[in-house]
Chain A
Amino acid sequence: MHQTDKSDLPTWRRIISGLILAIVGTTMLATSWSYSAGSLTQMGPGFMPQVIAIAIIAMGLGIIVSDLRDPVSRFDERSQPLHWRSLVFICCAVLVFVLLIEPAGLVPAMFCAVAVSMLANPNISFVGVVVYSAAVSLFGWFLFLVALGLPLSAFGR
């Protein structure tokens, strides 16, 4: 069979997803504790957040139990390596856009974001990046500024 043995994965990796969820729920409960809960007939702003937070914690614990008991098949994707290359370059592309859009304008921001995002593909040439980014930016300029007429400036503020 293709199933890997249960012992392949350390316990912490089997419980981590439920644990993260339980931590999220606990944080939410702690934050919403300061909101007034009111009573069932006169609910305050804190009532539902606290209920949902407790439900999320319960779900997290439930998932920990079910992950510890389940066959390993659903852990397949977790044992694959992270997509480091695209993680880095896609994040950078969005951040480049964020940094450039207000000082430099739409066209430079689009060009740089597209160029950086293309680096996520390992088999790409410098010329390919420049040509394709220019083409996509031209398309973006046409779509957003000419066709849709968004109130954004192409260059500069």
Chain B
Amino acid sequence: MTDQFMMGLSVVLQPNVLMYAFFGVFLGQVIGVLPGVGAITAISLLLPVTFYLDPTSSVILLAGIYYGSQYGGAIASILLNLPGTPSSVVTCLEGYPLAQSGRAGFALLVTALSSFVGSMIGVATVVLAAIPMAALALKFGAPEYTMLVALGLVAASLISSGSHLRAFSMALVGIALGMIGADPNTGQYRFVATDALADGISLVSLAMGLFGISEIIRNAGNTDTHRKKINLSYKDIFPNKAELRSMITPVGRGASIGAFFGALPGTGAAIASFMAYAVERRFSRTPEKFGKGHLPGLCAPEASNNAAAQTSFIPTLTLGVPGDAVMALIIGALILNGIVPGPRLIVDQPTLFWGVIASFFVGNIILLIINIPLIGLWIRLLSIPYNKLYPAIILLICVGVYSHRNSVTDVVLTLVFGLVGYVMKRFQFEPAPVLLGFVLGPMLEENFRRTMLLYGGDFSVFVTRPISAILVGCGVALLVFTLISSFKSYRKASKVDEENDEGASI
């Protein structure tokens, strides 16, 4: 394992690969800082570019954007109370009050440190888990893959913040979109309304439309440029001994929670950060301090989302099954480069596999180094108005989609998906499950068909094979847990309603 990791390091430390690692994390940090531009948008913008790079550099670049954005997201949260990424929403709760009390520099340093430690615990988990997971993955047959993919889709819908029905229906729509084109088994065309759809929808068009164009339509021309004054002091920026000591357990706890939820299919960094915050609050001896700039409440979620950002690569790299929309794009990049993701990756492409993992290690060190010294640059980025940004994004989308297959139809399709995404958002449908369903759908169909063929249409195979049975068990447990907790919150909500009805309206 150490040997492989060292081999990976030697791949990353080649100057041209290192350059892509640096570029990736730098861009990720920038994207994280800019509110309104997310990692998914940035990765889908760069997806066509990776066609011109070697596969290892492509994945290192795209992965860097993802985990780099986890660092950047905290900056806008702390300074402006605006979360730059979904996973830094809870960072606002403690970070912004801390900045208001004149310790912004301190808050930024502490989050950078927690993020770094969390990431390193995440990377260590990936390194330790990679070989056993890949060995386990070789035992995966069609039934196991079917169940794993199904679990990912169900988990992504159940653990979403909005309505479960809506999230699951979007995953189904994603599966349906993935069916367009030739049926893999018989070659018959399905849902090919025009000849242009014969090759299927390109992932690039779908991602850029749903995330890029629709966000621009929602935000362009937003003229309220509420620019808050940023007061940043470098006064007592370094944590003292007592503060450092009070950080150790929350960071460790947060990172463990993150490492677990990141590796689980269907959950990701955002959920991990919420969980870590909730756990800190529940087990704190001083819960009244939360919400006023309490240090453990700031460290734990930051460690957690960074650990999760790293461990989410475990199922992606060892099983070839993406756990969330970002990972779906990474899988897409591998496929675009002609590499079949799956359990054979570690054997067939050891330099890619270990190079990518080692790049996490190097990338996080780069992030820690550029984070605090360049704080002036990040603050200047925060003041870029969106109206200066979106014309450039439109340009990147148009040229990116067009150059991918030299196809005008793809650009038109992107616009169509942008409009669909805009309408979806208005009806409270989240676009992320669509992307996940789009990538997982073909895997689901292929493995389900194969299972039914091999086992003569017998569904009991899903519970008689041990690994598959465990996956089914996870799914059932998750379902029961969600039903119970949503029932509880439903009762709580109706109770609150009654109280409001009785009392005077606020």
Interface of A toward B, CB cutoff 8 Å: 1, 16-17, 20-21, 24, 28, 31-32, 35, 39-45, 47-49, 52-53, 55-56, 59-60, 62-63, 66, 74, 77-78, 82-83, 85-87, 89-91, 93-95, 97-98, 101-102, 106, 109-110, 113-114, 117-118, 120-124, 132-133, 136-137, 139-140, 144, 148-150, 152
Contacts and interface: CB of A to CB of B under 8 A. Distances in A.
Given A40-B457, A113-B394, A74 B403 contact: no
Given A95-B415, A101-B408, A63 B221 contact: no
Interface in B164-194: 165-166, 168-169, 172-173, 175-176, 179, 183, 185-186, 188, 190-191
B234 to A, nearest CB: 34
B468 interface: no
Given A41-B456, A98-B412, A59 B165 contact: yes
Given A74-B163, A90-B213, A43 B452 contact: yes
B428 A102 contact: no
B427 A56 contact: no
Interface centre among B166, B397, B418, B425 (most CB of A within 10 A): B166
A34 to B, nearest CB: 10
Nearest to A55: B172
Interface in B397-446: 397-399, 402-403, 408, 411-412, 414-415, 418-419, 422, 425-429, 445
Given A35-B190, A86-B221, A98 B391 contact: no
27 contacts: A1-B505, A31-B191, A35-B188, A35-B190, A39-B457, A40-B452, A42-B453, A43-B453, A59-B168, A86-B221, A87-B422, A90-B213, A90-B394, A94-B397, A94-B398, A94-B414, A95-B415, A98-B408, A110-B399, A118-B391, A120-B221, A121-B387, A132-B388, A136-B391, A137-B395, A144-B399, A150-B399
Given A86-B220, A144-B403, A91 B419 contact: yes
Contacts of B219: 86
B460 interface: no
B462 interface: no
A127 B183 CA distance: 52
Interface of A is mostly: helix
A65 B451 CA distance: 35
Contact of A63 (B165, B223, B392, B456): B165
Nearest to B185: A45
A29 to B, nearest CB: 11
Contact of A53 (B176, B445, B449, B505): B176
Contacts, number: 176
Nearest to B455: A41
Contacts of A97: 398, 402, 411
Contact of A62 (B165, B221, B223): B165
Contact of A122 (B221, B418, B453): B221
A139 B392 CA distance: 9
B52 A148 contact: yes
Contacts of B223: 121-123
Contacts of A83: 217-218, 220-221, 422
A87 B221 CA distance: 10
A64 to B, nearest CB: 10
B67 interface: no
B49 interface: yes
B390 interface: yes
Contacts of B408: 98, 101-102
B500 interface: yes
Contacts of A110: 395, 398-399
A133 B162 CA distance: 39
B427 A90 contact: no
B221 A85 contact: yes
Nearest to B162: A74
Nearest to A115: B391
Nearest to A132: B391
Contact of B179 (A48, A102, A122): A48
B220 A121 contact: yes
**Which 10 residue pairs across A and B have the least CB separation, nearest first?**
A59-B169, A17-B427, A45-B183, A40-B457, A86-B220, A120-B220, A97-B398, A41-B457, A45-B188, A94-B415
A18 to B, nearest CB: 9
A45 to B, nearest CB: 4
A135 B505 CA distance: 54
Given A90-B220, A121-B221, A123-B223, A114 B163 contact: no
Contacts of B500: 1
A90 B393 CA distance: 11
A105 to B, nearest CB: 12
A62 B397 CA distance: 36
B216 interface: yes
Nearest to A44: B186
